[in-house]
Amino acid sequence: MSLSQRVKKIEPSPTLGLVAVAKNLKAQGHDVIEFGAGEPDFNTPDNIKAAGIKAIEDNFTRYTPNLGIKELRDAICEKLEKENNLKYTPDQVIVSSGAKHSLFNAIMALCDVGDEVIIPAPYWVTYPELVKMADGIPVTITTTGETGYKMTARQLQAAVTPKSKIVIINSPSNPTGAVYTEAELREIAQVCVENNIYVISDEIYEKLIYDDEKHVSIASFGEDIKKLTVTINGVSKAYAMTGWRIGYAAGGNEIIEAMDAFQSHATSAPASMTQKASYEAIAGNQDAVEEMRKEFDKRRKFIVDELNKIPGITCQIPKGAFYAFPDISGLYGKTIGGVTIEDDNVFAKLLLEKVYVAVVPGSPFGSPGNIRLSYANSIEYMKKGLDRINDLVAGNI
Ligand code: PMP
Ligand code: GLU
């Protein structure tokens, strides 16, 4: 078959791939502990589910406006103003089938063939692939644990070329949990304004933030940076709504109109009833978000403590999201369970095959030497998996 060059350049999502492998092993009767998928284990809060059920019962089951229903876009505007200090009108917001879809629309609307898109590494696996789908060139900026896995304005400035078009900022970050401070973001914004670089700001984990960290939206610093920024968010993570598939983008009229046109041919608006449920999520009672956040916080401390007890593994405390991203390079060269650990891929494969523990290797996040474990699981469940890793590394298995 003669597939397009475009799809030949793209790797399938390793995070979703791992979920499928783990589910297969489970179906074969293996007791798999899953640290792979980045999705809350909590159920969608009842008030949100009820809104979805009501929408179906009210026969709210037809196409909606391509931008999304007005009441949802109104609620998003109110939320952005109240929580993010961002003023947008409902025609400057487009609702899509998940934040992943919003990102895809934004990149397709902005990125031309050969444009460079700057992505700080470690990055979420999907960013470079989306850029490749738009025939752009992903340019990664390597960050390390020493700078808290954050790109500095100076690094960004050094990466700028005449072809630089977009920078993708993801704070709080998947996979590192890094949260940029206001001062750091202001410096980055200045570089973007000076060099006329667009910003795609993926803020999907904004509500899952710990300690004294504060989420700040880069577009809130003034008109100059706001004009260049598309802010992306969604309901999947904060409201335990990964399967409902609702995300959104806010930006200037020109970019939102372009995304509107693109979406109108690619997919149309997302599902009508899930838009109603998302309205309830965003405009309704927010107590469940804080309850889940507190629980994630306990799990975060637990998993980091346990990982740091395993010889050869070191883990920084993440400040946001729900991932631990330990450095496992201390295990390199060791033979564990009959296998010599050469890299993160070998270690992740060993964990799955020997002790049925699913983790994502760091390489597809642009960070060989790490593995990613989602802590969107109960402490009891995680303990079982961490004990298995410990026993394997200690040579007890
Ligand atoms: N951005 C980041 C950083 C993510 O981790 C995810 C998780 N899938 C998404 C966007 C997309 O989320 P969704 O499509 O479920 O809204
Ligand atoms: N974003 C989540 C993750 O990183 C969900 C899977 C995906 O869409 O990639 O695991």
pLDDT of 148 > 90? The answer is yes
Q: Select 5-43+288-394's CATH number: 3.90.1150.10, 1.10.730.10, 3.40.50.1860, 3.40.50.300.
A: 3.90.1150.10
> Which one of the ligands is nearest to 242 CA?
1
Does residue 152 line the site of ligand 2, with CB under 6 A?
no
DSSP labels, 248-267: EEE--HHHHHHHHHHHHHHT
Measure 97 CA to ligand 2 centroid, in angstroms. 14
Number of H helices and E strands in the chain, helices first, is 14, 14
- With the most atoms of ligand 2 within 8 angstroms of its CB, the residue from 15, 235, 374 to mutate is 15
Q: Hey, whose CA ends up nearest to atom 2 of ligand 2?
A: 38
Does residue 236 line the site of ligand 1, with CB under 6 A?
yes
Measure 103 CA to ligand 1 centroid, in angstroms. 9
φ, ψ dihedrals at 67, nearest 5°:
-75, -15
> What value does the mean pLDDT take over residues 53-63?
98
Q: How far is residue 370's CA from residue 109's CA, in Å, rounded to a whole number? A: 33
Q: Where are the domains of the chain?
A: 5-43+288-394, 62-283
Architecture (CATH level 2) of domain 62-283: 3-Layer(aba) Sandwich (3.40)
pLDDT over 70, % of the chain: 100
Give the model's confidence band at 257: pLDDT under 50 very low, under 70 low, under 90 confident, else very high: very high
pTM: 0.97
Q: Hey, whose CA ends up nearest to atom 12 of ligand 1?
A: 99
> What value does the mean pLDDT take over residues 132-155?
96
Q: Hey, whose CA ends up nearest to atom 5 of ligand 2?
A: 38
Per-residue pLDDT at 40? 95
DSSP-H helix ranges across 117-222:
126-133, 153-159, 182-195
Give the model's confidence band at 216: pLDDT under 50 very low, under 70 low, under 90 confident, else very high: very high
Q: How far is residue 192's CA from residue 392's CA, in Å, rounded to a whole number? A: 47
Give the model's confidence band at 178: pLDDT under 50 very low, under 70 low, under 90 confident, else very high: very high
> What value does the mean pLDDT take over residues 45-71?
98
Per-residue pLDDT at 13? 87
Does residue 18 line the site of ligand 2, with CB under 6 A?
no
Structure letter (DSSP) for residue 360:
E
Give the model's confidence band at 18: pLDDT under 50 very low, under 70 low, under 90 confident, else very high: confident
- Which residues are 139's β-sheet partners? 118
Q: Which residues contact 64 (CB under 8 A, 6 or more apart)?
A: 269, 272, 275
Give the model's confidence band at 393: pLDDT under 50 very low, under 70 low, under 90 confident, else very high: very high
DSSP-H helix ranges across 111-252:
126-133, 153-159, 182-195, 223-228
Q: Is the four-CA dihedral 13, 72, 55, 278 of positive or negative sign?
A: positive
Sheet holding 198-202, edge to edge: 93-96, 247-250, 229-234, 198-202, 164-170, 116-121, 137-142
- For 331, the token pair is 């295990």
Q: Give the mean pLDDT of the chain.
A: 97
pLDDT of 397 > 80? The answer is no
Q: Using one digit for the tens of pLDDT, what is the confidence trace for 357-374?
A: 999 999 999 999 999 999
Q: How far is residue 41's CA from residue 346's CA, in Å, rounded to a whole number? A: 27
Residue 45 CB-density burial (10 A; 0-12 exposed, 13-18 middle, 19+ buried): buried
> Which one of the ligands is nearest to 101 CA?
1
> What value does the mean pLDDT take over residues 305-315?
97
